[in-house]
A and B are shown apart, each in its own frame.
Chain A
């Protein structure tokens, strides 16, 4: 197979993304997990770029890694959560806890792969870049309603976040 360096790069990034995601799930240290999540996201962004979606890649890094996860860091700093203290509870240690969910997830994966195989997806990703202009035209054309709804969602998130996080006079209930 005539290995194109960009294709190899894609697989590399995918591998990094998977490994980093596994680390996210298994780490004890919150910040380490978060850093792995950043790495995973950046790797996925690289994948996006290589798949011909540079705009999405940029947004992935700017919004996801650069804003949403910073929020996480911020929250962790506020909580002072250095370690996952819940792991100290006796129940949640050892291999057995991971076994069931992993089997479940593998079943899920197997099923999905089977479906994909079964449908015989032969399509190849086209190398053509879908640039931001096309995205923009689509967003503010046929998807205008979705944009509006998303903006409402964000507004709702803003209000909810403000409401929950504002200090209460006397032990108000959640």
Chain B
């Protein structure tokens, strides 16, 4: 069973890497925003404050694991775990490079979508189990928002599936050898990326946790390790969406011919992903938060028709063998 052992090792390495990366993203975000806003940000712990996240981690681990007495205990505990697990599971189907891939599922894309849709439960159940007004409102917002945006997230990806002819992510990447799908699927990418932001509840779509309105939304009652799990989930989500964007629209580990050999494929992948992660973070500083009805209206009235149109045009063009 050497095969299985290799897989196990890969999984372990993946987890060992991903969780610290997610933790580091917190620091990256704070520093970057600090810089953009012309201030310092965390810079005391370690060089440039690199160890800030570890300090936070230590602090969180030291806190009392407290569950509010009015909460539904089982669901309350389960909710953050679902979130983190779903996001982590999605990474299993991501082809980081031709070699580094845990599960080469033939329905990889569907699996990603499935996990994304299951991740809703995390937020919704957290809001419900907390048994408090703000949390419930946050949960309901999350449910409405996620269900709405999930629809055209799936639809926007169908153009890619159509062109690649497969749900398998590796095959999708390989299909981009002669040109990234961003060229033909620019609209699809825009829709997907916006939906991705909404799915990971990042600004400007962070209404489920809008602190000016709902204290902290669905995780108002959370603290300690469980709170940390939510946080982890969010940053892992950011990373995941970035990874998916790269895989689906930007050729994954592939690079055009001259650049191809400069770096190993995995490094190209990491570089591309980093770009999107930073883009994600900088979005937060750049955009205001819409009203909730605006959010839903935008989703159903603009994004959904756009995604459908994109799919229709793509289908038509591929039928005429233009693409």
Contacts and interface: CB of A to CB of B under 8 A. Distances in A.
Does chain A touch chain B in the assembled complex, meaning CB atoms less than 8 Å apart?
Answer: yes
Contact of A31 (B110, B114, B125): B125
Contacts of B72: 29, 31-32
Interface in B110-137: 110-111, 113-114, 116-118, 120-121, 124-125, 127-129, 136
Interface of A: 29, 31-32, 35, 38, 42, 45, 54-55, 57-59, 61-62, 65-67, 70-71, 73-74, 76-78, 129, 131-133
B140 A77 contact: yes
A54 B118 contact: no
B107 A67 contact: no
- Max chain B Cβ within 10 angstroms of own Cβ: one of A31, A65, A70, A71: A70
B105 interface: yes
B139 interface: yes
B234 interface: no
A73 B113 CA distance: 19
Contact of A55 (B107, B118, B120, B124): B107
Interface in B134-191: 136, 139-140, 143-144, 146-147, 150, 154, 165, 167
Given A58-B110, A74-B143, 17 more contacts: A32-B75, A35-B75, A35-B121, A54-B105, A58-B107, A59-B110, A62-B110, A62-B113, A62-B150, A65-B118, A66-B114, A66-B116, A67-B117, A70-B120, A70-B146, A73-B143, A78-B140
Given A29-B72, A66-B117, A54 B107 contact: yes
Contacts of B74: 32
Contacts of B32: none
Nearest to B119: A66
Contacts of A129: 106
Contacts of B139: 77
B68 to A, nearest CB: 15
